[in-house]
C-alpha cells in the first residue's frame, strides 16, 4: 500500500498498550517472535486465492467537491473509522470529502457522519475496537470513544481477528468483529524485490538473504512465490541455509529497504557446512515508498513478483462490530453505499481520483495530492543502476467489485475467504506456535449489508478485471510447477486422486489472477509417439476445461493456454514404473506478457 511512515500496515496479532483495555497482549511477541521452535527449512504450502471477473453497467457521473470544508452532518451520530495510509481507500476518501463527512459529500448524502482517523499500528486499532465494545456492553448505544470500524489487508485478517476476537467473545459472541466490505486492493505496490537473475531463474534465489518485516503481507507475497516454485523457506532468522531463501528481520518496511541500501550483513551458521560466515542482504520485501527508496538510492533490484500478479491477495477489508452494526443497519449500508459510489466515481473520472488524493493527503498528513495520484497506478521508472522497476499500484472497489470479492455472483469465488484461509495456513506452516488456530472465514464475514444494497440498486460501473489477449505470448515466467494430476489409463478422464489434485491446482491459480496460465501436458513412453502426443494434448485440454467450468470468472477466455509435449520431455527414466509415473504429469507455468 502506498504510504509514507514505517508503521503502516504492521501485521497483526497485536498487543495493546496502556489504558484502553488490552495490555496483556504483546505485539512483538505475537507478531514477530524469534523462530525458536521451527528451524527446519521447508517449502511453503501453495497459496490459493481467486482473482475474480464480472460485468458492470454504465459509469457513474462524479461531482467535483472541494477539500477542507467543515463537517457537514454533525447532527448524525459520529462514526469513527481508523485506517492506514493506503491508496486502495481513495474511493472512501473521495466519498467523505475531508477528515469528517463534509456537507456535499456522498457520506452526508447517505446520512453518515464519518470521521476518518489515520492509525498505522494494529495494536492501537485493536485497542480502539475493544474500547468501543466495552462501552457498548456497558450500555452506550453510540460510544463516544473507540473505533466503529477499522480497515486492514485481507491476507492478514486471520491473525488480526484471532487476537481481537479472542477478547471480544468474552463480552458475548454477538460482539465479534466481522468483515462487511472492501474499499479496494493493492495492485502492484506490495512486492518482493530481488536481483534480476532471480526473476529470470527462480531457483537462483536459493541461498539468498532477504530483508523484510516478517509475517507481513509483503512476506506473504514472497512465501507464495517460494511455494509456487518449490523453493524451501528458512524460518530460522539466526541460521543460513544455502538450499533455501533466508531472512533478516526488519523493524518495518522502510527498514527492510534500508538494510538492502546500506549493504547490511550478518554472521550466521551455515546449516550444511556448520561454518559461521558473513552473509549480506540481497533483496527486500516492501511497499511504496520503500521500493522507491531502493530504486533511487541504490538500485539493482527488480520486482520479482507483486500484487500486480497476485491480484486477489491483498484486499482492503472493512471490519466492524457485529452487534452494533446489526442495531444500525441503515447507517452501515449508507457508509458502504457511499464508499462504493466513491469507487465508481474514482474509476470514471480523473477529477474524482484527484479529489480523493487531495483528501488522502489531508487525512494521512503525508505527501501531497501529486504523490497519491502518481502511485495510484503502477508506474515504471529507471533506477540508479539503469534497471527498469515497477513502483506503486492500487485500485478502488465499487459494488460490482465487492460482489466478486465475496463470491456473490454466479461463477465467482469468495476471494476474501480464500486469501484469509490461505495465508493463515502459510503462517502456521512456518511458525506453528504463532497461529495454531483461527476463526473460520464464514464466522467473521457478514455480506448481508452488501446483499441488501444489491436488492435495491444495480452496480453502476464494471468491476476491476484483468484482460487477457489469447494471441499475446508469455514474456515473463513467474513460476513453474509440476502437478501429479492422474488420469485413467490411456484416456483424458481424471482419476479420483486426480480430481483432488485439481482442487489444489484451482486454489493455487486463483490467487494469481493477473497471470496467464500455461498447461503443459506430458506422458511416459508407453504407446506410440503420435498417440502420446495426442493424449498429452487431450489431457491438457481436460485440465483447461475443468478450471473454466469450476470458475468461469477466474479463468476467462485467453487466460489458460494449452501445450502438448507427449513423451518428448521426461523428468525421469522411462525404464521404471516410478520414473514413468513422474513423467505422466501436468506442468503449470504462470507468466505475464
pLDDT attached to residue 47: 59
- Cα–chain-centroid distance for residue 353? 22
Nearest to 180 by CA among 447, 409, 401: 447
Strands 78-83 vs 149-153: parallel, antiparallel or unpaired: parallel
Measured on CA atoms in the order 154, 20, 24, 439, is the torsion positive or negative?
negative
E-strand ranges in 425-552 read: 476-483, 516-521
Between CA 133 and CA 74, with CA 93 as vertex, the angle to 5 degrees is 60
Length of the chain: 593
Which architecture does CATH list for 476-592? 2-Layer Sandwich (3.30)
Which residues lie below 8 Å from residue 565, measured CB to CB, with a gap of 6+? 520, 521, 522, 533, 536
The whole-angstrom separation of Cα 363 and Cα 82 is: 11
Burial class (CB within 10 angstroms; exposed 0-12, middle 13-18, buried 19+) of 33: middle
pLDDT attached to residue 17: 35
pLDDT attached to residue 46: 61
Strand, coil or helix: 550: helix
pLDDT in tens, the chain (593 residues): 544 443 344 333 333 333 333 333 233 332 333 344 455 777 776 654 444 333 334 444 445 567 878 999 999 999 999 998 899 999 999 999 999 999 999 999 999 999 999 998 888 999 999 999 999 999 999 999 999 999 999 998 998 999 999 999 999 999 999 999 999 999 998 999 999 999 999 999 999 999 998 887 889 999 999 998 999 999 999 999 999 999 999 988 889 999 999 999 999 999 999 999 999 999 999 988 889 899 999 999 999 999 999 998 999 999 999 999 999 999 999 999 999 999 999 999 999 999 999 999 999 998 899 999 999 999 999 999 999 999 999 999 999 999 999 999 888 888 899 889 888 989 899 989 888 999 999 999 999 999 999 998 888 877 777 778 877 888 888 988 888 788 887 888 887 777 778 887 887 788 888 899 999 999 999 999 999 999 999 999 999 999 998 888 889 889 999 999 999 999 999 999 999 888 888 899 999 87
**Selecting from 3.90.180.10, 3.90.1150.10, 1.10.357.10, 3.40.190.10, what CATH number does the domain 77-184+311-367+413-456 have?**
3.40.190.10
pLDDT attached to residue 206: 98
The whole-angstrom separation of Cα 480 and Cα 490 is: 26
Q: Could you tell me the CA-to-CA distances from 40 to 49, 110, 204, 431 in Å, in that order?
A: 26, 54, 20, 11
Nearest to 447 by CA among 406, 399, 398, 397: 406
pLDDT attached to residue 32: 33
The whole-angstrom separation of Cα 191 and Cα 218 is: 6
pLDDT attached to residue 495: 79
For the beta carbon of residue 473, count every other beta carbon within 10 angstroms.
9
Cell of 415: 476471494
Which residues lie below 8 Å from residue 275, measured CB to CB, with a gap of 6+? 269
pLDDT attached to residue 59: 45
Cell of 51: 482473482
Q: Using an 8 Å Cβ cutoff, are 511 and 50 in contact?
A: yes
The whole-angstrom separation of Cα 5 and Cα 367 is: 11
Give domain limits for the chain: 77-184+311-367+413-456, 191-306, 476-592
pLDDT attached to residue 22: 35
The whole-angstrom separation of Cα 139 and Cα 145 is: 13
Helices (H), 349-398: 350-364, 369-374
Percentages of the chain per state (helix, strand, coil), in multiples of 5: 35, 20, 45
pLDDT attached to residue 5: 41
Amino acid at each position: 500500500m502506498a504510504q509514507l511512515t514505517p508503521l503502516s500496515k504492521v501485521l497483526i496479532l497485536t498487543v495493546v498498550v496502556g489504558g484502553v483495555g488490552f495490555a496483556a497482549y504483546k505485539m512483538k511477541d505475537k507478531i514477530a517472535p524469534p523462530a525458536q521452535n521451527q528451524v527446519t527449512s521447508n517449502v511453503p504450502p501453495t497459496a490459493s486465492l481467486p482473482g475474480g471477473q464480472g460485468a458492470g453497467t454504465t459509469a457513474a457521473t462524479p461531482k467535483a467537491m472541494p477539500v477542507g470544508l467543515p463537517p457537514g452532518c454533525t447532527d448524525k451520530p459520529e462514526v469513527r473509522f481508523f485506517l492506514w495510509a493506503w491508496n486502495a481507500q481513495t474511493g472512501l476518501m473521495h466519498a467523505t470529502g475531508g477528515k469528517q463527512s463534509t456537507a456535499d459529500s456522498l457520506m452526508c448524502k447517505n446520512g453518515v457522519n464519518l470521521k476518518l482517523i489515520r492509525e498505522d499500528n494494529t495494536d492501537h486499532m485493536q485497542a480502539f475496537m475493544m474500547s468501543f465494545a466495552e462501552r457498548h456492553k456497558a450500555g452506550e448505544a453510540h460510544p463516544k470513544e473507540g473505533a466503529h470500524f477499522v480497515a486492514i489487508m485481507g491476507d492478514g485478517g486471520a491473525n488480526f481477528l484471532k487476537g481481537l476476537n479472542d477478547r471480544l467473545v468474552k463480552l458475548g459472541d454477538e460482539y465479534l468483529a466481522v468483515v462487511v466490505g472492501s474499499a479496494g486492493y493493492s495492485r502492484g505496490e506490495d512486492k518482493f524485490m530481488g536481483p534480476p537473475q532471480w526473476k529470470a531463474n527462480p531457483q537462483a534465489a536459493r541461498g539468498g538473504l532477504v530483508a523484510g518485516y516478517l509475517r507481513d503481507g509483503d512476506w506473504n507475497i514472497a512465501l507464495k512465490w517460494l511455494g509456487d516454485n518449490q523453493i524451501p523457506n528458512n524460518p530460522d532468522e539466526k541460521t543460513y541455509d544455502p538450499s533455501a531463501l533466508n531472512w533478516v528481520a526488519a523493524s518495518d518496511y522502510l527498514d527492510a529497504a534500508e538494510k538492502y541500501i546500506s549493504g547490511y550483513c550478518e554472521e550466521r551458521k551455515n546449516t550444511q557446512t556448520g561454518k559461521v560466515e558473513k552473509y549480506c542482504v540481497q533483496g527486500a520485501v516492501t511497499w511504496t515508498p520503500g521500493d522507491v527508496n531502493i530504486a533511487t538510492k541504490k538500485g539493482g533490484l527488480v520486482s520479482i513478483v507483486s500484487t500486480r500478479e497476485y491480484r486477489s491477495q491483498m484486499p482492503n477489508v472493512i471490519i466492524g462490530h457485529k452487534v452494533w452494526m446489526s442495531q444500525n443497519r441503515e447507517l452501515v449500508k449508507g457508509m458502504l453505499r457511499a464508499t462504493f459510489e466513491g469507487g465508481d466515481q474514482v474509476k470514471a473520472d480523473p477529477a474524482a481520483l484527484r479529489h480523493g488524493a487531495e483528501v488522502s493527503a489531508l487525512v494521512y498528513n503525508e505527501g501531497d495530492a501529486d504523490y497519491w495520484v502518481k502511485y495510484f497506478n503502477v508506474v515504471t521508472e529507471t533506477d540508479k543502476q539503469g534497471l527498469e522497476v515497477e513502483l506503486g499500484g492500487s485500485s478502488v472497489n465499487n459494488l460490482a467489485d465487492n460482489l466478486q470479492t465475496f463470491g456473490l455472483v454466479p461463477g465467482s469465488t469468495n476471494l476474501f475467504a480464500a486469501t484469509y484461509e490461505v495465508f493463515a495456513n502459510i503462517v502456521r506452516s512456518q511458525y506453528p506456535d504463532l497461529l495454531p488456530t483461527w476463526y473460520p472465514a464464514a464466522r467473521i464475514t457478514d455480506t448481508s449489508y452488501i446483499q441488501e444494497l444489491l436488492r435495491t440498486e444495480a452496480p453502476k460501473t464494471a468491476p476491476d478485471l484483468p484482460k487477457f489477449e489469447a494471441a499475446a505470448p508469455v514474456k515473463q515466467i513467474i513460476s513453474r510447477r509440476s502437478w501429479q494430476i492422474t488420469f485413467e489409463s490411456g484416456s483424458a478422464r481424471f482419476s479420483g486422486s486426480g480430481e483432488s489434485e485439481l482442487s489444489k491446482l484451482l486454489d493455487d491459480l486463483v490467487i494469481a489472477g493477473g497471470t496467464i496460465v500455461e498447461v503443459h501436458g506430458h506422458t511416459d513412453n508407453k504407446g506410440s509417439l503420435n498417440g502420446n502426443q495426442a493424449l498429452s494434448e487431450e489431457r491438457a485440454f481436460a485440465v483447461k476445461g475443468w478450471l473454466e467450468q469450476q470458475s468461469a470468472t477466474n479463468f476467462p477466455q485467453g487466460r489458460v493456454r494449452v501445450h502438448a509435449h507427449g513423451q518428448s520431455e521426461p523428468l525421469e527414466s522411462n525404464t521404471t514404473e516410478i520414473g514413468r509415473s513422474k513423467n505422466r504429469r501436468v506442468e503449470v507455468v504462470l507468466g505475464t506478457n
